[in-house]
Structure formats: C-alpha cells, structure tokens
Amino acid sequence: MKANFVCGPVVIAIGIILSDFTVAVGDTMEEEKNLKSGYYYASQETRDMQDDDFGNPALLLLEDAEELWSKVEGTAGKSCASCHEDPASDMKGVGATYPKYDEILKKPITLSQFINRERREKMGAKEWNWESKQLLGLSAYIMLQSRGMPYTLVIDGPMEPFFKQGRELYFTRSGQFDMACKYCHTDYADTLLRGNRLSNGLANGFPTYRLGAQRLVSLHNRFMGCEKRLRAQPYKAQSDEYINLELYLKWRGRNISIEMPSVRL
C-alpha cells in the first residue's frame, strides 16, 4: 500500500488546482484492472465482521426484511411473496441490473424506486421513505440474492445519455473545495484522509451497514455526505443526477462482485 498521508480536503484541493485537468472519456484498462472493493480498504476487524454471516451487524435487519417479504400490506391484500414466492431464485441477479431503463418514465430507475412502485401499483400500499429501515432492508435483501455476482448494466441505446451524464458528474468539480469524485476515488485512492483510507468509491456493497451510524445507509446518502464535506450543495436522494452517477459507478466497478451485507466504518 502507499504510505501517503493527507491532512484534509484543502490539501488535496491545493494539489489539484496546481495542475490542469481534462475530463476523461472513460476509464483506462489499467484503472479498471486496479479497482478494488471498499472491503479491501477496510480494517481487518471490519472485514471479519462482514465475513461472519452470523455476527454481521446487518443480519437482524435482513431477517426483518425477510419477514417483510411475506407481509401482506395495502388494499390489494398482497405481499412481495404473492408474486415472487422464492426470492432466492426469483430475485437472483435482479438487483445487479439496476439502475435500468424504464419504458414508462423514459429514464433509468433504481431498485428502491422499483420497490416503491411495486408497493404502490401491485400492492396498493404506501411508499416507503428513501432512507427508511424498511426500504433499505428490503433493498439489501434483494441484493443479497445477487451476492458474488457482477453488475450487468445496460449503458447503450436509450441508457447512453444518462450514462454519459453520470460519468460527467464524476469528473465535474463542485463545492467550495472545487473538487470532483475523481480526485478522492481515482487520483488519491488508497491514501489517508482524516484517519480514513480513501477507497475507489465503488457501489458494490450498497446498501451498506455503517458502523458509525449503526444502520444501513443508501448509496445516495453517501453521495450527499461526500458533497456536504466538500461544502457543495447536494442533490436530493433519488434525483436524476444521483441515479446517473450510480449508473456510472456501478458500471465502473462492473468487474467487482456484489457484497451483501457489507460493513463499512
């Protein structure tokens, strides 16, 4: 590992401002080959916690989600299990395809949006809040059925403009520190920032259990947290901007297996 120590965003920003920056048209083969899951950057204690299916702190949340799968709600008197009796087979690989193009909205939607639409249209049930325990838990439960699989995303055809917008956002500077996602997660990956090692910023473990928050958090929650640290104005969860960025990040880490339930600091 590198032994670089970074004191804070200002130090990184100064180094960046001193050099010219050209938006890349795509990740190079070398960059893709060297990408690593956030698991690689975690402490051994955190890795051990994630690897233990019986001691993983997200286990109870997944058990609650498993019960939700069969819980009848809404005016239609249905549950998820009414249409998908065996999630292990019916949901295998499903989570790995999101964000995916929606023919009705003519744009990509996330797994969370799909779940809420199914609740509204198929069950006649109330939609959950984006950061609710129920929605994050059920999202993680569906992603669990794709554990060990890579993301299988479509980025051409009608998805192409959204993919390009997500990629552009990854390379676009914002906030008072005038920084982009690329600076921390490509240029300075594997260096220390305020005692934490910067990762490649991949999305293969979301929703993830954050030890600091002691709960599951969404990928869009992490986006907002990063932007606040850069003193930028965050977009809203499930905004088009964050959905496009999610698409790009999952494509960028398409050779990294899905981890669920993942544990991060």
CATH code of 99's domain: 1.10.760.10
On whether both 43 and 161 belong to a single domain, the answer is yes
* Angle, in degrees to the nearest 10, between helices 240-252 and 219-229: 100
On whether both 200 and 133 belong to a single domain, the answer is no
Strand ranges in 77-218 using DSSP code E only, listed in sequence order: 100-102, 107-109, 192-193, 196-197, 208-210, 215-217
On whether both 181 and 252 belong to a single domain, the answer is yes
On whether both 48 and 158 belong to a single domain, the answer is yes
Does the residue 64 lie in any domain?
Answer: yes
Phi, psi at residue 143, to the nearest 5°?
Answer: -65, -30
On whether both 158 and 229 belong to a single domain, the answer is yes
Does the structure show a pLDDT above 90 at 79?
yes
Does the residue 265 lie in any domain?
Answer: no
On whether both 105 and 67 belong to a single domain, the answer is yes
Does the residue 232 lie in any domain?
Answer: yes
How does pLDDT run across 23-49, given as a tens digit for each residue? 444 444 445 668 999 999 999 999 999
On whether both 131 and 159 belong to a single domain, the answer is no
On whether both 137 and 252 belong to a single domain, the answer is no
Q: What is the domain count for the chain?
A: 2
> Domain of 216?
5-52+154-259
The proportion of the chain whose per-residue pLDDT surpasses 70, expressed as a percent, equals 88
Does the residue 264 lie in any domain?
Answer: no
Does the residue 76 lie in any domain?
Answer: yes
**Cα gap 200→181, rounded to integer Å:** 10
**Cα gap 36→189, rounded to integer Å:** 10
Does the residue 149 lie in any domain?
Answer: no
Confidence band (pLDDT; 50, 70, 90) for 161? Answer: very high
Domain final residue, candidates 144, 175, 192 = 144
pTM of the model: 0.88
Phi, psi at residue 151, to the nearest 5°?
Answer: -70, 140
On whether both 158 and 253 belong to a single domain, the answer is yes
Per-residue pLDDT, 3: 34
Does the residue 129 lie in any domain?
Answer: yes
DSSP 8-class letter at 141 = H
Given 7, 80, 83, 226, the catalytic residue: 226
Domain final residue, candidates 122, 144, 166 = 144
Would you call 226 a catalytic residue per the annotation? yes
How does pLDDT run across 176-194, given as a tens digit for each residue? 999 999 999 999 999 988 7
Confidence band (pLDDT; 50, 70, 90) for 12? Answer: very low
Domain final residue, candidates 92, 125, 144 = 144
On whether both 81 and 28 belong to a single domain, the answer is no
Per-residue pLDDT, 21: 38
On whether both 46 and 67 belong to a single domain, the answer is no
**Cα gap 124→148, rounded to integer Å:** 33
Per-residue pLDDT, 193: 82
How does pLDDT run across 86-121, given as a tens digit for each residue? 999 999 999 999 999 999 999 999 999 999 999 999
On whether both 163 and 251 belong to a single domain, the answer is yes
The alpha-helical segments, DSSP class H, found in the chain are 9-17, 29-34, 38-41, 44-51, 59-69, 80-83, 87-90, 111-118, 133-144, 160-170, 181-182, 219-229, 240-252
Element (H, E) at 5: strand 5-6
Does the residue 119 lie in any domain?
Answer: yes
